[in-house]
Structure 1
Amino acid sequence: HVFGYQSLEADLLTPGTSLPVADTPFGKTAGITCYDLRFPGLWSELSLRGAEIVIVPAAWPATRREHWRLLTSARAVEHQVFVIACNA
């Protein structure tokens, strides 16, 4: 998902068309971006595809820092996955 509200993200990025889960030495790993934390259905699909680790790079603003912390923890618990998250 591309964030659009008062953001240039839609001008710079294109939404993905696939949802890959890759075998890695650490387990089945998927990558999403920033705004995708707000879409639990996407996480459900990752779980169905066997994801054990989800990597989330992001640029959430300081005003929504608590949402960032809450959602990264909630998605990990909901889907029983490890979440590796880095917020710029």
Structure 2
Amino acid sequence: MRIDELFALAKVPTPVARRYHHQRVLSERGRTPDGYREYELWNAVGVVRVRRLTEWDLGLNHVRDLLVADNQGRPARGGPSLDADLRRQE
């Protein structure tokens, strides 16, 4: 899926998504032959986690430190309270 599809799914405006990338909160993704970033569904979970943490008034630098990526670029668990909150929202 493309960036606009991903962030629409996560209910995050595209300019905010670009800021997430600029601040390196989200890992850089591969690109399609026409230059679009490619995302998978699990990327939406990471975006929702970032959005939720910023709603709790955490800065992007702090969020980046909390969501340490594993070797595949997937966000690490955000902690029990964050995961429980996300499950309730689903």
Identify the TM-score tier after normalising by the shorter chain.
Answer: under 0.3
Which structure has greater helix proportion?
Answer: 2
Larger strand fraction of residues: 1
TM-score with structure 1 length normalisation?
Answer: 0.27
